Chain A
């Protein structure tokens, strides 16, 4: 054994010395822990994805269809003609490097191909080779290269290593959006059957049952019932959670994780308590029981297929407008795509809060309101009674989820709610919040366990900022408004900032909300004792 073991210095130099001169000549290594597994062929078949088959990224042979190059190049041509974004972004990058150190994966891994500019060059090089005069004539000098299996593998590795968070785009002088490029390449990969399971199986489940986990309608009903019971235990108040109720004023749609995963679940309890307290005339839907849309991470078409359920259900139930729960990519779809892909929603009315009379003019076409907009309005008009001291056991920071921040600009509403429901709120450093917020490292369908190492690298900048406020202000919970954050940030915090829990904004609302007829509240929605209710405060 000692014979094989290089000396430390040698070792450091041998393996991690300068890379080959040109990044194009540096093939990708699939090391366990850093990539996602391929799609289950049954799931892929269920939603008609092309070329379903058993294959694995670490195997040499990916069993590509014979004319795979032709398929991809035609697909690229097609998309260049359909998306101005793609066409413009392929041509105008000047490689100024402003984006280079903005990607959480680059910051956490040090892998140069995680610089957004280089991630895009992986595609751009092929574009130059086949679609530009300079590239066709000058080849490598012009930065062009042929589409080979090696390039394809590189695409798979690095475009399933971008979380579509759009942080780089904020700093780009031309607004080049790596998320858009990633979406295009993922569509191309799909054309030859290269999908990952953590996207494909949730998509198939959601298409069939209405939610990612494949919970059937009765299971969904049971889940809500269970939550209603638990809320009664905690507060002494029995609430209603109507499902598929025709004629309700409002359809409420939340990410499915809210009713089967923790810590999402406490946010669900918060919604239930709030809706009960204000007497909202609303309904859940078992058919549209998923606001999240993993189709977004697959292709525009799949996104449309899944999103279809929401308007269809609103129409069937005859509601006036739609309210949406806390979720990041769900809101990317609802805010930026839904009206275009499945609208117009001319059968709905412009949303108006039944309590305050506020007309949500900003949603007059899409007719869907974000719950934090709705709640902020309630609080502003003093429609609910709050006791912020019930959140005193929490020392809070807030993580802007990528999509609400960079696709909507939903920055102040959650902060307003937090400030009204909590007493101890501390912001993370300025270059890590709001539009400059760092991704959890697991967005866009990458939040699974086989690539945990990569996710932890990607989560490092966020974890690092949380650790800073933990040490400085004793922060013990980081709130967020995204189901993927709630699913994956606990891992990030556990590793980089132990002691910082993850929670939702409406969990804090639920804690602080004074319900009519409630019992003496000893604990918060998690069952954690309130300050002063259990000997010493356990901050």
Chain B
């Protein structure tokens, strides 16, 4: 019954979640992130919005893993290059628990709903675990990019001096 309730209020939940995610940016930017809806002029805001919407859909739906992975990947990609520690970067995902408790407070007196809440929480946990993986992968990706960029910068020089064979072909 909780899931049914959540599905009915999916849009409101997603909107609240997006709001709380945007609040992790300085307040003067938050307005811009929330209002500018052009995906090319405002990739951060639009990504946050789409990712939270899709995650809500799956959390109270059938937990399609490819959708979830894609959404947390998009989120992680953006948060990993901004001024956040890993915990700060992903804290916004925990907010969904609070948001759901607020919205569903009236029906949470029902024990069946509480059981479903436990189920919901473990779904969120799963999403967060994935997000940690993705976040870490993005940071590693950056190290990889650094190395490859350094190689490319002088690639032909190195090939000429050291010989082509010793270079891995990063093309």
Contact = CB atoms under 8 A, between A and B. Distances in A.
A/B: CB atoms within 8 Å of each other: yes
A11 B27 contact: no
A291 interface: no
Interface residues of B, number: 48
Interface in A495-533: 495-496, 501, 526-528
A270 interface: no
Contacts of B171: 262-263, 501, 526-528
A115 B105 CA distance: 41
Interface string B34-75: 001011111110000000000000000000000000000000
Given A110-B82, A449-B149, A490-B152, A461 B20 contact: no
Nearest to A266: B171
Given A260-B156, A265-B156, A12 B149 contact: no
Interface in A80-122: 100-101, 106-112
Contacts of B29: 106, 110-112
B154 interface: yes
B27 A18 contact: yes
A92 B28 CA distance: 24
Interface in B80-125: 81-83, 87-88, 91-92, 94-95, 98
A213 B145 contact: no
Interface string A428-445: 010110000000000000
B5 interface: no
Contacts of B141: 494-495
Contacts of B146: 449, 452
A16 B150 CA distance: 34
A8 B131 CA distance: 15
A204 interface: no
B37 to A, nearest CB: 12
Contact of B39 (A8, A18, A112, A464): A464
A487 B146 CA distance: 12
Given A8-B91, A488-B149, A431 B40 contact: yes
Nearest to A501: B171
Contacts of A5: 87
Contacts of B148: 490-491, 494
B154 A260 contact: yes
Interface residues of A, number: 60
Given A110-B29, A110-B33, A449-B150, A494 B145 contact: yes
A100 B27 CA distance: 15
A195 B92 CA distance: 38
A192 interface: no
Interface in B119-171: 138, 141-142, 145-146, 148-150, 152-157, 159-160, 170-171
Contact of B40 (A100, A429, A449): A429
Given A222-B160, A494-B141, A261 B153 contact: yes
A464 B40 contact: yes
A9 interface: yes
Nearest to B158: A260
A101 B155 contact: no
A31 B83 contact: yes
Given A19-B27, A495-B141, A431 B77 contact: no
B24 A12 contact: yes
Nearest to A18: B27
Contacts of B20: 12
B23 interface: yes
Contacts of B155: 260-262, 265
Contact of B81 (A17, A457, A487, A528): A457
B149 A491 contact: yes
B166 to A, nearest CB: 15
A292 to B, nearest CB: 13
A485 to B, nearest CB: 13
A465 interface: yes
A308 interface: no
A223 B43 CA distance: 41
A49 interface: no
A456 B150 CA distance: 15
A12 B91 contact: yes
A111 B81 CA distance: 13
Contacts of B33: 110
Given A449-B150, A494-B148, 16 more contacts: A9-B98, A16-B88, A18-B26, A18-B27, A31-B83, A107-B43, A109-B83, A111-B26, A452-B142, A457-B82, A460-B78, A460-B81, A487-B153, A491-B148, A495-B138, A496-B77
Interface of A: 5, 8-9, 11-13, 15-19, 31, 34, 100-101, 106-112, 213, 215, 219, 222-223, 226-227, 257, 259-263, 265, 429, 431-432, 449, 452-453, 456-457, 460-461, 464-465, 468, 487-488, 490-491, 494-496, 501, 526-528
10 contacts: A9-B91, A108-B81, A110-B32, A222-B160, A259-B156, A260-B156, A262-B170, A263-B152, A265-B156, A468-B39
5 shortest interchain CB distances as A-B pairs:
A8-B91, A110-B29, A8-B94, A464-B43, A260-B157
